[in-house]
Structure 1
Amino acid sequence: MSEMATVAELQERLRRPLAAELAGGCHDRVVAGGVEKLLSTPLAGPFPKVREVLSGYAGLDESARAVALREALTLLGSTGKTTRRAAAPAPTKMAPPQAAPGERLPLDAPAERLNTGPGGARKLSTLGLHTLRDVLHAYPHRHEDRRALPDLADVEEGQKVTVMGTVVSKFRRAPRPGMLILEIVLETPSGGRVKATWFNQPWVEKQLREGARLVLTGRAKKFGRQTQLSVEHMETVDKAEGSLSTRRIVGVYDAKEGISQEFLRKAAYKALEAAPLDDYLPAHWRRKYGLTDLGDALWGIHFPRDEAQLARAHGRLRFDEYLFLELRMLLQGEDAVLQGKRFEARGEDINKFEAALPFRFTNAQRRVLLEITDDMRSDQQMARLVQGDVGSGKTAVAACALYLAVRDGYQGALMAPTEILARQHYANLCGYLGQLDVRVGLLIGAMTPKAKLEMQTRIAEGDVDVVVGTQALIQENVQFDNLGLAVVDEEHRFGVQQRRRLLASRPDVLVMSATPIPRSLALTAYGDLELSIIDELPPGRTPIETKLIQDTARQQAYGFVMGQIRQGRQAYVVTALIEENENLELLAATQLADDLKTILPEARIDLLHGKMSAAEKDYVMERFRAHEFDILVSTTVIEVGVDVPNSTVMVIENAERFGLAQLHQLRGRVGRGSLQSYCVMIAGETSLKTRKRLKIIEGSTDGFVIAEADLKLRGPGEIRGTRQSGIPDLRLADLANDADIIEQARELAKHILANDPRLEHPRLQYLRSELQNRSSSVAYREVI
């Protein structure tokens, strides 16, 4: 048998299991030990490119495996002729043809069509980049200015620098078993020399040959006149890639091991060359908001000519992220912004309601009430979020809106997330509305079947004007006679489908939240709702005194708590967990309660923990409100909104483990009555950074100021349950500072949908297509 025949035979023996692996769904089970085991045998020896394409196969997801297999099978199909004895090739899905030079590709073209070299499509797939659009929008996470690399004489000790040069010598040392030190001397274009070091990174050695041109980034150390670099990042520079990696502002991308920055720059460059960069925003909108065109922005984010183009690119692409987010949110809420009820909302009725109150509205309450009544008078269905700090008077404003609905012959509903909160709202609304001849009812799960049926009958017959309840209000056997206004408290506690069942008869909708979040965050998290903020507290409230102490002063803190208890007051003690674990939570709560019983033998102490059912938690809170015990120990966040006016002290153990907004919410559980109240934060960690963060709470009682500080310190996190609501990752957005841009994007989104609710105009087809392709939600795509 000739040598060529032997290679062809090996080729066919390798091709068959790979084709079977592809046909079988890429589960890495066709060959014993997996595809990588197959590649380590002599069978794959003559095919180094196939081994390269399939390297790391076991660690890929199934889509990336399929891409790699198709590429490998293409290589095997062109290696040589099969022998006569070889079986006929199994049908395989061939890789799409690569783009010819200068050829334009559609944005949804597979990334395989970009000519990125052997294994290129597989590398892009491992990063989740499957189409041309994916590559275009995989922006660099930072940029380095390599137009003028630093003179080594000016580099300071510890400074992070990037240098470029040629390897003039190389050293390899193994001082002891298990340690490898690689060193090179790099000569920069100016003639300076820097020693670069790698510890235990043998895989970089093959790139450190003498004469290689490298770009290195790392921390500098100075030894007299000599500079040494502890290398954090390395790139090779050859003639083909040099213009993308040096002498310019260079993007640095998110990557994985084995995928170089040069490769990602090359892929981005080829994508930009092949992409049709037609703009989905018409020129008059770009002029109005001061935005550059899409082509300038995409070239500018990947390969900026200067700082000005990079700034233009950031501005445009951030705007686009928010625009598509707002369009998406508004379209998701499409069934909540159509024809609604139209109320008269007369001024004399507002005055009559306020006259019956034991207090006067604040200016902030009046402003928000004006925004609500403007919505109520409109034909469109109201969908408005009212935000306000603890004690700002949201419930009174909602009660006034419910009164206006009743005066116009409609029913109202207020839905709360828990039964204890529902009962509290019921008591408050009876106080506000009872003297105005408004019939208020309560419907919760704990009622007897007979009482529940009686209330359901009264609701259906219109014998109740305002109903307060929990999820019981959206059960199928609850029928309203004429529901006009629905108020939802702490909306984030409900699922989207739950809320929509309440809205089926198209009432106006008012959402209340006592969790202050920055305006920028509210506009993105609640993009389908208009926003009103009550940012003023009623006069005469006694501010809560807040004190930050170290855990060494814990004894004095609990001595103060005991002093309050002897005066007939009550206290909360809350502790944080290191990790979410119900068993540990129960253990931590029990241990803390036992410790306090030893420290404070006179005090009556009870426990609230995560293993309790909702009914058990409600029972404990009711007993606490009834003053059946003095101290409530909890490792769960105590229900937002639950009032225990006699509780005057909040002690927060391990305060450093909470976010600022959480601490503020916990502090708001006291000070619910006229008594002077206190919050004591006990910190177990004493770092300067921690103290500085906690001092923000100690020095401010404004929830919105605290929320802004929390956003800047911790980032947006998972807002409104982002996975549930479908909010995508914002790659360039800076929610702590982008409120103005979000306002503009929201304004444009509302303008677009007001004129064309389903984006059907021919001029908006490209925008519609881009919106659909940016959405990861199949259900959402069906909306438009």
Structure 2
Amino acid sequence: MPTLPELRDKLRRPLELERLRGFENKAVAGGLEKLMDGPLAGPFPKVREALRGYDDLSLAEREEALEAALNLLQDGSPRPSSPPKVARQDPQIPAAPAGSRLGPSAPLAQLDWGHGGLKKLNALGLQTLRDVLHNYPRRHEDRRALPSLAEIEDGQKATVSGVLISKTRTSPRPGMQILNAVLQTSSGERIKATWFNQPWVEKNLREGAKLILTGRVKRFGKSAQLGVEYMETLDSSSGNSASGSISIGRIVGVYDGKDGISQDFLRKSAQIALSRSDDGDYLPGHWRKQCNLTDLTDALQGIHFPSDEAHLSRADYRLRFDEYLFLELRMLLQGEDAVLLGKRFTATDRDMQDFEAGLPFQFTGAQRRVLYEIADDMRSEQQMARLVQGDVGSGKTAVAACALYLAFKDGYQGALMAPTEILARQHYVNMQSYLAPLGVRVGLLIGALTPKQKAEMQATIANGLVDIVVGTQALIQENVTWANLGLAVVDEEHRFGVAQRRKLLAGRPDVLVMSATPIPRSLALTAYGDLELSIIDELPPGRTPVETKLLQDTHRTQAYGFVMTQLREGRQAFVVTALIEENENLELLAATQLADDLRVILPEARIDLLHGKMPAAEKDAIMERFRAQAFDILVSTTVIEVGVDVPNASVMVIENAERFGLSQLHQLRGRVGRGSAKSYCLLVAGEHSQKTRKRLKIIEGSTDGFVIAEADLKLRGPGEIRGTRQSGIPDLKLGDLASDVEIIERARELAKHILSHDPVLKHPRLSGLREELQARSNQVAYREVI
């Protein structure tokens, strides 16, 4: 059985990781509150109490709570640290000549960082001058005019600075220790500061020390004291009484750190790095002027030691712009070449008109606009690489069918690859409907075919006897050879791996990616940075929005009573159960139990079950029976999220709706409302917190997938919406995808301009840009490894 110190150390590690990750509540699965409810936190009730409500706190409040929890875990002995593995410094690295300027890749060992300074920087994963320069503060404090406590209202937060003149320790009752200290400010004011149950602080307090304290003010009549939450100790060499202070009397950066590495040391390290780095800028002056960017030296100075708010603002903008610029360059340079030659189609307006004339409806303005964007790409000799986004029912499939028809008219084959066999069969039916009347031969290639059927279709493809082939990953098997593939349409691309997509693209066809998963524009421009973006932002006339209602699980009977009224009117219903702890077996168990429960609650209803562990043929058979109205309610796991079309289904019940992201809930909701009948989505929440209710109210009040996706991005962050490693988006130090659309678009425009003139950054004047891109790419790879 682990000892108490071992348990303390195990609990401390995720808390320290949470601090390093910027208090985003992502250090452990499910968040810190879930960790605190587990057995690991059992022996530490005060720590559990300090972090109560952590999920609902602001970033600043989380920081305070976490620091308090870490202080409570301190047992009086130095905390063991687990620094990231760093490369060993070569003891033979020569020191740089005094006063010389170094390039950003210079090893830190070339400079004097003070006693133990190099070891401290290495412990933070900082190896080069560039690392220190771009180790930005996580926040800034305005310390230009630190207030008098007499001016601060009760409960407000304040930062004060002064010299420690006395300290006392009291124990008013067993289990409580109070440390009181008195500081004298430069104006002569005496400030009382207090620490509760933090005995280890006392050894770091010595009379005469210069301190900066942050905490909440507690007023007692005319007197006030500061409940300390954060402390900095300034050493005697800081020069903080002088006008050139780096820790008081100015806007001051506060950095992520570790025990034993003070803020004062980190600021002085940034100061040294700025004074010894060269004044080079990897962005040429005409591009900086074009994009209204300050130079790199001014930006780095401004992020570490801003002279005023305007300086900090222009520094932040330049460095955020650079983050997105290098991200876009990485995405655009993913392939072997920056620009690939593709097929060149005629793609005439007449052909598009002929296609539309055969439809039972007219294209919307948005569909027509996107079609012209696609046609322009197809006419170009460069390979088309375009993402078409559109909400459920916006008509993406018809647009893709028209593009495939344009390829057919020029004698090319087309492919449409879907992530599931259910969706592939549905696309096959739609393509037959759209294209067969125009003389287009449409084929299907999926895993469920017999070996003989597969062999026949593969031969048909190789001999050019089929024009458009719809399929799953069966389209990219080694024994599939295309006679003349001109256009590849990939539906829901994020469900395929990069390697899978590249197999289909080996012959360099034009590429059209479709997604019914609304993605905020900022995320689409980064996660799909190698694709141009088209958005179908208009629904066809006559579609009735799905009415959505949020219910607590205590009203579940009411929900299923409503379902029964719909069934009696001849309608059908989906009931979806949530994924449980990423465990398919538990998910299957929950879905099976739910189906059994509903058979008891709704004895009149015919009920069947669909789940991810079923063979593809069985899934298809169940869906076909549901479409044919052979039963009334389909209980399903999230396997029905994408693409399934059952026009007679008018109700969607989503159990434990709080376990889904908003965008996923919107996708599930899109499975109903596909017919002429009024449709409904009932969100049954098993968790009743204010936070959960507020989040689910967003989807109750909106049917716009892009509005919902923006809200999801703000609530959950990009990594949870579309896996960070999968999308290639590194952790952003300054950028905020939820609000940076304009700056992302400008950075992307510049990245495309640069690569259009120099596809592999060969020009000597771009050597600095190339070196910086390589360095940042290596840092991303390093973070993923560790």
TMscore range, shorter length: 0.7 to 0.9
Match of 2:146 among 142, 145, 149: 149
Structure-2 change in CA distance of 1:227 and 1:114 (3 Å)? farther
Unmatched segments (≥5 aa) in structure 2: 1-77
- Answer with 1 or 2: which has the greater Rg: 1
Structure-2 change in CA distance of 1:102 and 1:611 (3 Å)? farther
Q: Does 1:291 align with 2:293?
A: yes
Structure 1, 550-559 or 505-514: larger mean CA deviation:
550-559
Match of 1:377 among 376, 379, 383: 379
Which residue identity lines up with residue 738 of structure 1 in the other structure? D
Shift of 1:779: 9.4
Aligned to 1:409: 411
Whole-angstrom distance in 2 between the partners of 1:771 and 1:551: 51
Whole-angstrom distance in 2 between the partners of 1:668 and 1:165: 61
Matches within 5 A, 1:694-709: 694-709=696-711
Matches within 5 A, 1:382-461: 382-461=384-463
Shift of 1:603: 2.0
Asked whether the equivalents of residues 580 and 587 of structure 2 are also in contact (C-alpha less than 8 Å), the reply is no
Aligned to 1:367: 369
Matches within 5 A, 1:173-572: 173-175=170-172, 179-241=176-238, 242=240, 243-335=245-337, 337-572=339-574
Whole-angstrom distance in 2 between the partners of 1:174 and 1:112: 48
Aligned to 1:730: 732
Q: Does 1:666 align with 2:636?
A: no
Q: Does 1:63 align with 2:65?
A: no
Whole-angstrom distance in 2 between the partners of 1:224 and 1:615: 77
Asked whether the equivalents of residues 158 and 221 of structure 1 are also in contact (C-alpha less than 8 Å), the reply is yes
Structure 1, 370-379 or 735-744: larger mean CA deviation:
735-744
Matches within 5 A, 1:742-757: 742-757=744-759
Matches within 5 A, 1:605-616: 605-609=607-611, 611-612=613-614
Whole-angstrom distance in 2 between the partners of 1:589 and 1:253: 48
Asked whether the equivalents of residues 95 and 112 of structure 1 are also in contact (C-alpha less than 8 Å), the reply is no
Aligned to 1:34: none
Match of 2:168 among 159, 168, 171: 171
Structure 1, 667-676 or 307-316: larger mean CA deviation:
667-676
Aligned to 1:74: none
Match of 1:106 among 100, 103, 106: 103
Asked whether the equivalents of residues 413 and 466 of structure 2 are also in contact (C-alpha less than 8 Å), the reply is yes
Whole-angstrom distance in 2 between the partners of 1:583 and 1:323: 43
Asked whether the equivalents of residues 292 and 312 of structure 1 are also in contact (C-alpha less than 8 Å), the reply is yes
Shift of 1:310: 0.2
Whole-angstrom distance in 2 between the partners of 1:694 and 1:274: 52
Partner-residue secondary structure (3-state), 2:211:
strand
Partner-residue secondary structure (3-state), 1:679:
strand
Aligned to 2:127: 130
Which residue identity lines up with residue 268 of structure 2 in the other structure? K
Unmatched segments (≥5 aa) in structure 1: 1-54, 68-92
Structure-2 change in CA distance of 1:123 and 1:177 (3 Å)? farther
Aligned to 1:71: none
Shift of 1:601: 2.0
Partner-residue secondary structure (3-state), 2:548:
strand
**What does the per-residue CA deviation read over 1:601-635, in whole Å, with 9 as the maximum and x for residues that have no partner?**
22233334455565655554444334343222334
Aligned to 1:37: none
Structure-2 change in CA distance of 1:245 and 1:99 (3 Å)? farther
Which residue identity lines up with residue 225 of structure 2 in the other structure? Q
Asked whether the equivalents of residues 588 and 635 of structure 1 are also in contact (C-alpha less than 8 Å), the reply is no
Shift of 1:347: 1.3
Structure 1, 442-451 or 168-177: larger mean CA deviation:
168-177
Which residue identity lines up with residue 100 of structure 2 in the other structure? E
Whole-angstrom distance in 2 between the partners of 1:586 and 1:764: 55
Structure 1, 606-615 or 243-252: larger mean CA deviation:
606-615
Residue correspondences, number:
701
Structure-2 change in CA distance of 1:60 and 1:484 (3 Å)? same
Asked whether the equivalents of residues 114 and 267 of structure 1 are also in contact (C-alpha less than 8 Å), the reply is no
Which residue identity lines up with residue 59 of structure 1 in the other structure? S
Structure-2 change in CA distance of 1:335 and 1:413 (3 Å)? farther
Whole-angstrom distance in 1 between the partners of 2:548 and 2:753: 46
**What does the per-residue CA deviation read over 1:158-178, in whole Å, with 9 as the maximum and x for residues that have no partner?**
212111112222112345665
Matches within 5 A, 1:605-684: 605-609=607-611, 611-612=613-614, 617-636=619-638, 638-684=640-686
Asked whether the equivalents of residues 84 and 125 of structure 2 are also in contact (C-alpha less than 8 Å), the reply is no
What's the TM-score, normalizing by structure 1?
0.85
Structure-2 change in CA distance of 1:778 and 1:266 (3 Å)? closer
Asked whether the equivalents of residues 112 and 120 of structure 1 are also in contact (C-alpha less than 8 Å), the reply is no
Shift of 1:268: 1.3
Shift of 1:332: 0.5
Match of 1:769 among 768, 771, 777: 771
Whole-angstrom distance in 2 between the partners of 1:646 and 1:195: 72
Structure-2 change in CA distance of 1:777 and 1:688 (3 Å)? closer
Shift of 1:725: 3.9
Whole-angstrom distance in 1 between the partners of 2:677 and 2:648: 8
**What does the per-residue CA deviation read over 1:455-514, in whole Å, with 9 as the maximum and x for residues that have no partner?**
000101110000011111111111111111000000111111111111111110000000
Whole-angstrom distance in 1 between the partners of 2:773 and 2:155: 46
Asked whether the equivalents of residues 339 and 759 of structure 2 are also in contact (C-alpha less than 8 Å), the reply is no
Asked whether the equivalents of residues 336 and 381 of structure 1 are also in contact (C-alpha less than 8 Å), the reply is no
Whole-angstrom distance in 1 between the partners of 2:145 and 2:620: 66
Whole-angstrom distance in 2 between the partners of 1:178 and 1:645: 66
Whole-angstrom distance in 1 between the partners of 2:404 and 2:707: 30
Whole-angstrom distance in 1 between the partners of 2:540 and 2:338: 32
Aligned to 2:44: none
Partner-residue secondary structure (3-state), 1:183:
strand
Structure-2 change in CA distance of 1:419 and 1:125 (3 Å)? same
Identity of counterpart residues, as a percentage?
A: 75
Asked whether the equivalents of residues 86 and 125 of structure 2 are also in contact (C-alpha less than 8 Å), the reply is no
Structure-2 change in CA distance of 1:535 and 1:222 (3 Å)? same
Shift of 1:254: 1.4
Whole-angstrom distance in 2 between the partners of 1:409 and 1:403: 10
Shift of 1:392: 0.2
Partner-residue secondary structure (3-state), 2:608:
strand
Partner-residue secondary structure (3-state), 1:59:
coil
Structure-2 change in CA distance of 1:115 and 1:319 (3 Å)? same
Aligned to 1:117: 114
Structure-2 change in CA distance of 1:330 and 1:556 (3 Å)? same
Partner-residue secondary structure (3-state), 1:220:
strand
Shift of 1:683: 2.7
Whole-angstrom distance in 2 between the partners of 1:154 and 1:145: 16
Whole-angstrom distance in 2 between the partners of 1:196 and 1:592: 57
**What does the per-residue CA deviation read over 1:277-307, in whole Å, with 9 as the maximum and x for residues that have no partner?**
3011111111111100000000100110110
Whole-angstrom distance in 1 between the partners of 2:660 and 2:460: 45
Partner-residue secondary structure (3-state), 1:732:
coil
Structure 1, 590-599 or 732-741: larger mean CA deviation:
590-599
Asked whether the equivalents of residues 608 and 636 of structure 1 are also in contact (C-alpha less than 8 Å), the reply is no
Whole-angstrom distance in 2 between the partners of 1:618 and 1:195: 73
Asked whether the equivalents of residues 525 and 719 of structure 1 are also in contact (C-alpha less than 8 Å), the reply is no
Whole-angstrom distance in 2 between the partners of 1:57 and 1:236: 21
Whole-angstrom distance in 2 between the partners of 1:337 and 1:450: 40
